[in-house]
Amino acid sequence: MKHLLILGLLIGFLLESRAQTIGTAGDMSTLEPTMIIDKPTAGMLRRADYHITANFFQRGGVLAGVSVGLFDRFSFGISYGGTGIIGPDKIEMNPLPGVRAKLRIVQETTMMPAIAIGFDSQGKEPYLDSLKRYTIKSTGFYAVASKNYEMLGHLSLHGGFNYSLENKDGDKDLNLFVGAEKSLGDILSLLVEYDFAVNDNTQSVGQGHGYFNLGFRLSAGEGLVIGFDLKNMTKNQRNITIANRVLQIEYVGSF
């Protein structure tokens, strides 16, 4: 009950805030999504924009982060979380905060996609101390291209490759990922993502199927977006029945 009260107060505070943006979901969005689901896009925060996220996942896990647009083409962020934060289990915090930085090196044109390079040390879902990695490895160093189209609303396509530093499990391969986002009306978007998980197929965690993720994003107010994800629908890990269900709340404002 205490956690629900705190969450309710947080949402209430965000709804009362007066950002000069609508959000990242739907046809009325005025911001570029900076992430697909677990993987980055070439989308950028504008200079002096800040992006706050709270991700609620399995085993009472919470991952919170904040990113800031230092320039129109460069952003920086940090994140931290752990498991057991919600519920009766013992709280186990991640060993280190995650850091991320992104630089757009090519602007999008009619013919060319936007291209960005970056680094993200924040893995997703519970940290596996025995393997010195997250359940979903951090992206690490990456390059990604994104292209936007007007097709019955907004359609954006993304693709890239990455090299994770979480490789003490012996899998040091270069990885690939693709994704798309399609608006479904003014305030709702559908997201799909496929992580080939080439760097996670030794069966210490991944089973060689890759990770297919499906998500929805709803613009719930000025700057506030609520998301729901179904992750790992390919059942690329043991003990997965349907998918990992994840709730995400994000807020974008300006200084």
Tens of pLDDT along 12-26? 444 444 444 457 788
3/22 Cα distance (integer angstroms): 27
Q: At residue 185, what are phi and psi to the nearest 5 degrees?
A: 100, -170
Of the options 1.20.140.10, 2.40.160.40, 3.40.50.300, 2.170.190.11, the CATH number for the domain spanning 2-254: 2.40.160.40
Question: Which has more pLDDT, 86 or 10?
Answer: 86
What per-residue confidence (pLDDT) applies to 177?
Answer: 98
Which of 124, 109, 108 has the alpha carbon at shortest distance from 40?
A: 124
Backbone φ and ψ for 80, nearest 5 degrees, come out as: -160, 150
Closest by Cα among 121, 113, 39 to 79: 121
Mean pLDDT of 160-169: 93
Handedness of CA 128, 126, 215, 233 (dihedral sign): positive
Structure tokens belonging to residue 44 = 């950028």
Query: Lowest-confidence range among 70-74, 140-144, 165-169, 224-228?
Result: 165-169
Tell me how far apart the alpha carbons of residues 226 and 248 are, in angstroms, rounded to a whole number: 6
**Confidence at residue 15, expressed as pLDDT on a 0 to 100 scale:** 45
**Residue 89's pLDDT band (cuts 50, 70, 90):** confident
Q: Percent of the chain, pLDDT > 90? A: 66
Query: Is residue 169 helix, strand or coil?
Result: coil
Domain range list for the chain = 2-254
Count of C-beta atoms within a 10 Å radius of residue 12: 9
Average pLDDT, the chain: 88
Residue 54 confidence (pLDDT): 96
Q: Which range among 73-77, 107-111, 242-246 shows the weakest confidence by mean pLDDT? A: 242-246
Task: Please report the pLDDT score of residue 10 as a whole number.
Answer: 47
pLDDT > 90? residue 70:
yes
Contact assessment for residue 235 and residue 212, using Cβ atoms and an 8 Å cutoff: no
Per-residue confidence at 169, pLDDT binned at 50, 70, 90?
A: confident
